[in-house]
Structure 1
Amino acid sequence: MDPATSRRSLLRLLTAGGAVAAVPLAAGCDGRSRNVVGTSASDGESAVGADTVMIIRHGEKPAAKGAPFGVTEDGQVNDGSLTVRGWQRAGALVDLFAPRKGSLRAGLVRPATIYAARPNGDKSLRHSETITPLAAELGQQPKLSYGKGDEAALGKKLASAHGNVLVCWEHSAIPDIVAAMGAVHPKPPAKWAGKRFDVVWVFTRDGKGWRFSQVPQLVLPGDVNSPIS
């Protein structure tokens, strides 16, 4: 099977069924659930329609030793790729960010631009793999111009960006991106929890800064309805 055919087959499999639990509330960083759509910015204007940056971690990764193994979209074992569950998450993100039926989860927007960390050869593929099904559904070419070590530059780029943006990155470096975006309130967690693959950090432009909230993905069994603290 040639790579293009393999990719199409994988995307059909991942996007079939739309197994996404509809949850109307987003969780703030204080742990309380809240409906963030329509929340007011500090200047009294509605945050709906404002510039929005959403940041996610890549999908599940291989174990340090043994199963589960990483698998490329062509079915080859690769430590730099997603596990089967990671690919399932990648497919489920299509219905989370670009539902074919119904409306978007409260607090989320349909991304007009998608960034993912640049792969390093056959390593660090998980970021681009995670957004491959979504980008295909939206007919977008994801931007892979930033890689590991470019977090400050990406954060500054996002600070001046307009529209709705989705970023997929390494969890340990996500706070570095946020730090370069400018003022954020309430203050995001200092670290992204190592075991959490199931959260969306949302930043909505609010005056000269950003308003922060967290939205649980709840797209796979085992995902939890709580923010990162």
Structure 2
Amino acid sequence: MPCEKIMLIRHAERPSPDKTIRGVGLSGEKDKESLTVRGWQRAGALVRYFAPLGDHFAHPALATPHVLYACKAGPQAPSLRPQHTLLPLADFLRGRNNAAFNRDFYEGEEKALVEAVLGAPGPAVIAWKHNTLPLIANLILGDTSAPQSWPFSRVDMVWVFDRLSGGWTMIQVPQLLLAGDSDELFA
């Protein structure tokens, strides 16, 4: 059965350009391609956001994903942040519902990514880079009705797509997981 729900997020917090806030790798070492401490906090909080106890979701549009997609790191774009954002959730779900964690698509391969997601079983979550999130939304919806920019400073939003009668609908769901998260929707 093809995918009926797609949840699209931006990777969690990144290091600051002035290097006052650093990235931290899996082993605690300084790593400019990894999440910040706050980013790792968000990644951990996403576990119960997408897989809450008793299925009591923060918003009724959310669902526990059966497959997770994160932007693949490579020589041209070495960031591990999309993968790290979903890593705690992927580890948690692997032990519960054997969710697949797909890291096969590079930035620039959004069309192939969306084709794979549309054919995936069950709900899916995608963590990607902010500059191409609107493109992914356009490919899912088949039009440009989604916001055409994702604010650089925002890592606290979920775009939820539901398949209805052959087409797709989209809503925005603020995460509201950490202090300072905003409930302001994107225009």
3-state DSSP of counterpart to 2:159 = strand
1:200 maps to which residue?
Answer: 158
| Match status 1:179 vs 2:179 | no
Taking the aligned partners of 2:184 and 2:117, their CA distance within structure 1 comes to 26
8 Å CA contact 1:112, 1:165 repeated in 2:
yes
Taking the aligned partners of 2:44 and 2:168, their CA distance within structure 1 comes to 29
Taking the aligned partners of 2:140 and 2:54, their CA distance within structure 1 comes to 33
Aligned runs of 1:122-137 on 2, under 5 Å?
A: 123-137=78-92
| Match status 1:215 vs 2:173 | yes
8 Å CA contact 1:79, 1:123 repeated in 2:
no
Deviations 1:94-139 (A, max 9, x none): 1100013451122100000000001226921000000011011111
TM superposition score normalised by structure 1: 0.73
CA shift in 2, pair 1:98/1:110, >3 Å: same
| Residue-pair matches, total | 179
Taking the aligned partners of 2:89 and 2:123, their CA distance within structure 1 comes to 14
- Alignment gaps of 5+ in structure 2: none
Amino acid corresponding to residue 151 of structure 2 in structure 1: A
Match of 1:147 among 101, 106, 117: 106
Taking the aligned partners of 1:184 and 1:160, their CA distance within structure 2 comes to 19
Taking the aligned partners of 1:166 and 1:155, their CA distance within structure 2 comes to 11
2:4 maps to which residue?
Answer: 51
- Alignment gaps of 5+ in structure 1: 1-49
Q: Which moved more, 1:157-166 or 1:60-69?
A: 157-166
Amino acid corresponding to residue 107 of structure 2 in structure 1: K
TM superposition score normalised by structure 2: 0.89
Match of 2:29 among 76, 79, 88: 76
- Bigger Rg over Cα: 1
3-state DSSP of counterpart to 1:218 = coil
Taking the aligned partners of 2:183 and 2:88, their CA distance within structure 1 comes to 24
8 Å CA contact 1:56, 1:168 repeated in 2:
yes
Aligned runs of 1:107-122 on 2, under 5 Å?
A: 107-120=61-74
